Amino acid sequence: MNEMRYQLDLLKAMNQKLTAKDRMYHLICDTVSCAFLYYSFDKNELTTLGKWRDFFDFEIREVKEISQFFDAVEDAYALPLLDVIFLEKNHQSFASIECYMKDKKAWYSFSTQVLYDEEDHPTDKVICIENITKSKVQNEELTYMAYYDGLTGLYNRNYFVRLLGEHIRRAEEENNVVSVMIIDIDDFRKINDGQGIIVGDELVQQLGSFLKELCNDKVMVCHLNSDIYCLAIYSPTGNCGVETVIRQIQERTKQPFRLSSGQELKITVSIGVAEYPEAATTPLELLNCAEIVMYKGKAMGKNIVQYYNAAILDDFLYSVELDKKLKEAVFNQNFEIHFQPQFYSTDKRLRGAEALIRWRDTTGNTISPAVFIPVAEKNGTIVSIGNWVVEQSVKQYMEWKKQYGIDFILSINISALQYSRDDFVDNLVAILNKYEMDSNCLELEITESVLIENFKSVSDKLKVLKSYGIRVSLDDFGTGFSSLSYLMRLPIDTLKIDKSFIDTVLTDHATQIITESIIDMVKALGFESIAEGVEDERQFQYLHDVGCDVIQGYLLGRPMPPEQMEHVLEQAERQIY
């Protein structure tokens, strides 16, 4: 009797233990956000666990009801899902698949795990179903971001470069050609600044949509950045030839782009074309070549198609190297100042000297200011260079003043960028005070280009300079927009007649009329006239006869280093004493 009671108590305890484990398994399954289907091969029993009702509106109690899974998924996933559900038929232990559910409009992941006994007979199977819609969408978004541009829907730069590399490898194998076109909207910054980035973005989108229409199995396009696109053509012939594609682009840009606001915009584009293998053999080099020639076309007037050639690339590489060397020279202050004397035409007395910067690079080659000054203006180093020239010139002038005791005018060229800075006048006055130079002996030469940006601001600053006693000279007169009306309103002292007039003043009657008119006008306005580039005695005599005040040029003195300029000052000193 006691033995029977013991066995009953033992069975009861084991049953309670099993019930507790069953509750634990159910609790675990209910805690996670998945649905489970458990199948016992020995008992031929199916059990659903977890969040089943969140996933399906049907129950599965028998094996034949598993077919409801296949009806719930898109048709393309039915057979692959069958293989995963009945994994044991292929004697596999684990497999999974992602399926799109027709009615739920969601993505479910089905994962099957099968256990086998020692004789390799299946004993248990669990199918785990998980809703992966959110992660699937996120992955699709990340994939899209990895390959496509968010603004235009075109390929992005990185993916385009990868595809271009595949094109080049294929072209190498097949002895074929790949053409690359860089397409840039002309004056896009004016659109962005004047009408706002929303208008600019919509224009970029519309042009991008048109370029996308040109794509096929041979043509692909990407949005590189801002308003720049890149189009690549594998084996450019026939309807996919470069000229054909360019003609289609130009025909489209002849028509205005109508924005969502109703506004219409007309644009032009500049296009640079480079070709594998002529221009380059790697994707990035090919893009660079096309971009270089595109900017070359923009510099020639925009709305131009420019094709690659070696000379353009050589010019670009030289400018890049020059830019690098110039920045190093600015950092090391590796420049010299030469001085070109100016003389009165009446008696050839020294009137003054113009300070001219010179640069000899590390290889010993002298680089003309006509070459490096435009580069300095473009990369911004012109401000540092200009400030260095001012200080060094003033310093040298005061050394000469103490040594020779004579007064003459020091002329210094000022760039538009240097002049436009808010601290320009303060810095200039500080240098004059530092070296104790009389401001009446300093003459600043500005070109007509300085006046173009903001006449009133420029004029106001000139008046401030005049209030300090600093002289102002208008340089290269006749080569800019040369409006006579502003001369009456500018507080200037001197007007320099450009060398281009002096070169032909003896041979061209029209030039003589213009030159004499300028000199007469200058006298009437109370300015001083200086003729640049006087190289022979006949030019000098003519300018003297028509009343030009000052002569500057090779005839009386070339630009010279300080030690040679000292000989000129010694002669001037003897003339005085």
DSSP string of 29-66, one letter each residue: HHHSSEEEEEEETTTTEEEEEESHHHH-SS---SGGGG
Fold observed for domain 32-137: Beta-Lactamase (3.30.450)
- By the 10 Å C-beta count (0-12 exposed, 13-18 middle, 19+ buried), 544 is classed as middle
484 vs 527, more confident:
527
Q: How many CB atoms lie within 10 A of CB 316?
A: 17
Identify the architecture of domain 340-356+391-576 in CATH.
Alpha-Beta Barrel (3.20)
**For residue 502, pLDDT beyond 70:** yes
Instruction: Report the candidate in 444, 539, 544, 446 with the shortest Cα–Cα distance to residue 501.
Output: 539
CA dihedral (249, 286, 320, 302) in degrees, to 10, reads: -10
**For residue 135, pLDDT beyond 90:** no
Q: Which residue has 């969040």 as its token pair?
A: 51
**For residue 216, pLDDT beyond 60:** yes
Q: Which residue has 């840009």 as its token pair?
A: 253
- The per-residue DSSP string of 320-364 comes to HHHHHHHHHHHHHT--EEEEEEEEETTT--EEEEEEEEEEE-TTS
Q: Where does the pLDDT of residue 7 fall: very low under 50, low under 70, confident under 90, or very high at 90 and above?
A: low
- For residue 161, the one-letter residue type is V
Determine the Cα–Cα distance for residues 375 and 469; give it in Å rounded to an integer.
32
Average pLDDT value for residue range 8-36:
64
pLDDT at 13: 53
Residues making up the chain, counted from first to last: 577
Q: Where does the pLDDT of residue 398 fall: very low under 50, low under 70, confident under 90, or very high at 90 and above?
A: very high
Q: What is the sign of the dihedral through the CA atoms of 54, 55, 61 and 65? A: positive
Q: How many CB atoms lie within 10 A of CB 115?
A: 12
Asked whether this chain's domains 148-308 and 340-356+391-576 adopt the same fold, the reply is: no
Q: How many CB atoms lie within 10 A of CB 246?
A: 17
Average pLDDT value for residue range 506-535:
93
| Backbone torsion region of residue 175, taken as left when φ is above 0, otherwise alpha when ψ lies between -120 and 50, otherwise beta | left
Determine the Cα–Cα distance for residues 159 and 283; give it in Å rounded to an integer.
11
pLDDT at 191: 92
Determine the Cα–Cα distance for residues 73 and 372; give it in Å rounded to an integer.
70
**For residue 99, pLDDT beyond 80:** yes
pLDDT at 315: 81
| Domain 148-308 in this protein, CATH class | alpha beta
Structure tokens of 564? 């040679």
- Residues 478-490 pLDDT 10s: 665 555 666 777 8
Within 13 Å and on the Cβ side, how many CA atoms surround 265? 24
Average pLDDT value for residue range 399-428:
93
| Backbone torsion region of residue 336, taken as left when φ is above 0, otherwise alpha when ψ lies between -120 and 50, otherwise beta | beta
Q: Are 383 and 391 in contact (CB under 8 A)?
A: no
- Residues 433-458 pLDDT 10s: 999 999 999 999 998 777 766 778 88
pLDDT at 140: 75
- Enumerate the domain spans of the chain: 32-137, 148-308, 340-356+391-576
**For residue 466, pLDDT beyond 60:** yes
Mean pLDDT over each residue of the chain, to the nearest integer: 89
Q: Are 406 and 351 in contact (CB under 8 A)?
A: no
Task: Please enumerate in sequence order all residues whose Cβ is within 8 A of that of 168, keeping only pairs 6 or more positions apart, or say none.
Answer: 178, 276, 281, 282, 283, 286
**For residue 536, pLDDT beyond 50:** yes
Cα-based distances in Å from 509 to 40, 505, 514: 113, 7, 9
Determine the Cα–Cα distance for residues 22 and 31; give it in Å rounded to an integer.
14
Q: What is the sign of the dihedral through the CA atoms of 476, 482, 484 and 486? A: negative
β pairing state of 34-40 and 122-131? antiparallel
Q: Which residue has 């399954």 as its token pair?
A: 29
Helices in 148-239 by DSSP H: which ranges? Answer: 157-174, 188-195, 197-213
Q: Are 16 and 23 in contact (CB under 8 A)?
A: no
Q: Where does the pLDDT of residue 363 fall: very low under 50, low under 70, confident under 90, or very high at 90 and above?
A: confident
Cα-based distances in Å from 228 to 125, 291, 296, 396, 420: 57, 10, 15, 49, 31
Least confident stretch, 22-36, 407-421, 442-456, 545-559: 22-36
pLDDT at 186: 94
- Residues 69-90 pLDDT 10s: 999 999 999 999 999 999 999 8
pLDDT at 18: 46
pLDDT at 205: 95
Terminal alpha carbon distance of the chain: 149
Q: Could you give the percent of the chain with pLDDT greater than 90? A: 67
